[in-house]
Amino acid sequence: MDINMDMQHQAMGYDRTATMFSPDGHLLQVEYAEKTVRLGSASIGMVCSDGVFIAADKRIVDKLIEKRSTNKIYEIDEHIIASTAGITSDARILIEKSQLLSQQHRVTYDSPIEPELVVKEIANTKQMFTQYGGARPFAVSLMFAGLNDKKPELYVSDVTGSYFSYYASAIGEDDEKIKEKIRADYNNKLTIKQGIKLALNIFKETQGKNFDIDRFEIAFIKNDKNEIERAEGDNLKEYLK
């Protein structure tokens, strides 16, 4: 009986450590972590004509959970927000590192940090955990949105420690399907309000009968304000009209 390549690799032990390459050049522990990220709840981020936003599915349906404890979009600094997909506890460590880095920059230079500097530092940390033994990779992708001298920017960092700047992107469950829909309808002339409406309609289309507006939260930053604004629950219904 033929055994597929993945099963052969596991049988030969190539997936026992994050630092061991399989014969065809794969780091299997890293690929497992990427699969974990795709099980996480989805987020969509977009750069718009008047700012940048992230829309996130909290995917919390248990009525016993206090809603204030389920935020999916985090404040990194007054001009940077971030969302995550993957293992939440892994994400918390990297989010706290991002917040600390931002505050240290303010104390040292008396100025807000550039979003890319935060992303690069987090990406470097994630890359280290694919290179050294004794620890597994961070099973989380992070999406950062923020202003750089009033210019909106969006970055996504994956499990491997790579990162790219985007006009619009998605992480988490059904990310490829969501990105295909974004490519079809996105343009950089959209306002934040129009972008949020597009993002929620994409979620509605991809989730079908599982879509529930109460599961979502939005955070956005306008070009003319260094201030994070949020909306969730009933406040989002106007974007579905």
> H helices of the chain, where?
5-11, 28-37, 88-109, 115-128, 175-185, 192-207
Longest alpha-carbon distance in the chain: 66
DSSP per residue over 78-133, as a string? Answer: TTEEEEEEE-HHHHHHHHHHHHHHHHHHHHHHSSPPPHHHHHHHHHHHHHHTTTST
Predicted local confidence at residue 141, as pLDDT: 97
- pLDDT in single tens digits along all 241 residues of the chain: 455 666 666 656 777 777 788 888 888 888 899 999 999 999 999 999 999 999 999 987 777 887 777 789 999 999 999 999 999 999 999 999 999 999 999 999 999 999 999 999 999 999 999 887 778 899 999 999 999 999 999 999 999 999 999 999 999 999 999 999 999 999 989 999 999 999 999 999 999 998 988 889 999 999 988 899 999 888 888 877 6
What is the reported pLDDT for 7? Answer: 62
Instruction: Give the per-residue pLDDT at 1.
Output: 42
Please report, for the chain, the start and end positions of each structural domain, with discontinuous segments joined by +.
44-240
Global pTM reads: 0.91
**Which residues have a Cβ under 8 Å from the Cβ of 63 and sit 6 or more positions away?**
none
* pLDDT, position 226: 81
pLDDT digits (tens, 9 = 90+) for 93-145: 999 999 999 999 999 999 999 999 999 999 999 999 988 777 889 999 999 99
* CATH number for the domain whose boundaries are 44-240: 3.60.20.10
CB contact at 8 A, 47 and 182: no
Tokens of 180: 């295909």
